[in-house]
Amino acid sequence: MSTIQLETIINAPVAAVFKLSLNIDFHMQSMDQSQEKAIAGVTSGCIKKGETVTWRGKHFGLWLTHTSLITEYKPYTSFVDEMIKGRFKSFHHKHIFIDQNGSTKMQDIITYKTPYGLAGDFFDKTILYNYLTRLIKKRNAHLKYTLENGGDSAFAKA
């Protein structure tokens, strides 16, 4: 099992960071490099506890699908999305939001397991871990930039 832990400081209120992190339309915009689209479940607006979304995106030259369920939802402090169908053996992503005098410390704790035994472990250690880390860092940078530059109003409807 692998764990990725990231921390991002965003100069925006915790409620705004929490809400935009759950916005499907924003996620698609932030993941344009992999052409991710929500194709089933909640496909627009904000997702909540007990709801699913199925993503289709291009990674490693392949079109892949991944269905996530929001299993925990504590407004403005945390939420968890877990894979219920996809290529991983398991995938658990905890999002934590901490108010810091009007700014937000956002933490991502991602634990996952690859299939295919030793070959999957080798792929994870040599390619996948770094790929996922870069992907989440890029998404977080897009979230930070959007919120710090007033661009979140396009997603306020949800």
Tokens of 2: 């692998």
pLDDT of residue 156: 56
pLDDT of residue 158: 44
Spatial distance between the Cα atoms of 10 and 109, rounded to a whole number of angstroms: 17
Alpha carbons within 13 angstroms on the beta-carbon side of residue 129 total: 14
pLDDT of residue 153: 66
67 beta partners:
54, 85
pLDDT of residue 154: 61
Nearest to 27 by CA among 36, 18, 40, 15: 36
Q: pTM value? A: 0.93
Q: What stretches in the chain show pLDDT beneath 70?
A: 153-158
Is the distance from CB of 43 to CB of 24 less than 8 angstroms? yes
At a CB cut-off of 8 Å and minimum separation 6, what does 93 contact?
68, 80, 81, 82, 108, 109, 110
Is the distance from CB of 65 to CB of 54 less than 8 angstroms? yes
The model's pLDDT over 53-99, given as tens digits with 9 standing for 90+, comes to: 999 999 999 999 999 999 999 999 999 999 999 999 999 999 999 99
Phi, psi of 143 (to 5 degrees): -60, -50
